[in-house]
């Protein structure tokens, strides 16, 4: 499993809080016509939540399924596939422990993490972000997690951008 790319933006002197979840393919592929609203389906390698599903028949009698992901807005990703096309459902994976850190001038700095049910919560309070005031810039960061079935995985990677806040 490849780590997902996720960029973070931190303003100094302000509390910072993010939540991450791990999803993985589950079971066998299902047909597009059996997808359920609210279910997560893999599209281009990402587990996307189905917000809306409609069916229609083409002039030749072919049954088509239109899936709109995210919040179901016109700008959210959508696909149109034949009803018998196979799609891979996703299920949330339990994470038993997690660790997040960023590289600051060659030094690894931890970002406090906690497990909340099936979510990984990582945060920095205003004191921690305030201490970054002298390190405005962009730094690489990553998040590792341990799962019962897959072991230790690099879950997220990206750029942590630190911007000086207005709070002293």
Q: Does 4-22+93-163 carry CATH code 2.60.40.10?
A: yes
Mean of the pLDDT values across residues 53-60? 95
Residue ranges of the chain assigned to CATH 2.60.40.10: 4-22+93-163
The C-alpha atoms of residue 51 and residue 77 are separated, in whole angstroms, by: 10
Mean of the pLDDT values across residues 39-45? 90
Residue ranges of the chain assigned to CATH 2.30.30.30: 24-91
CATH of domain 24-91: 2.30.30.30
The C-alpha atoms of residue 79 and residue 46 are separated, in whole angstroms, by: 14
Query: 166: pLDDT confidence band, cut at 50, 70 and 90?
Result: confident
Residue 45 has pLDDT above 90, yes or no: no
Whether 49 and 40 have beta carbons less than 8 Å apart is answered as: yes
The C-alpha atoms of residue 64 and residue 54 are separated, in whole angstroms, by: 8
Q: What does the chain come to in residues?
A: 168
pTM tops 0.75 = no
What does the mean pLDDT of the chain come to?
Answer: 91
pLDDT tens-digit profile of 61-90?
999 999 999 999 999 999 999 999 999 999
Q: Coil, strand, or helix at residue 114?
A: strand
The C-alpha atoms of residue 30 and residue 91 are separated, in whole angstroms, by: 13
């Amino acid at each position: 499993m490849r780590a997902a790319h996720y960029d973070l933006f931190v303003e100094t002197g302000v509390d910072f809080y993010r939540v991450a979840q791990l999803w993985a393919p589950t079971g066998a592929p299902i047909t597009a016509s059996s997808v359920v609203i609210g279910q997560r389906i893999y599209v281009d390698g990402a587990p996307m939540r189905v917000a809306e599903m409609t069916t229609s028949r083409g002039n030749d009698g072919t049954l088509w399924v239109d899936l709109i992901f995210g919040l179901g807005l016109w700008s959210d990703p959508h696909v149109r596939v034949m009803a018998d096309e196979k799609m891979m459902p996703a299920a949330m994976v339990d994470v038993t422990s997690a660790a997040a850190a960023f590289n600051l001038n060659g030094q690894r700095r931890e970002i406090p993490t906690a497990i909340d049910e099936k979510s990984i919560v990582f945060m920095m309070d205003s004191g921690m972000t305030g201490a970054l005031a002298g390190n405005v810039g962009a730094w690489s960061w990553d998040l590792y997690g341990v799962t019962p079935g897959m072991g230790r995985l690099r879950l997220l990677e990206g750029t942590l951008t630190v911007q000086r806040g207005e709070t002293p």
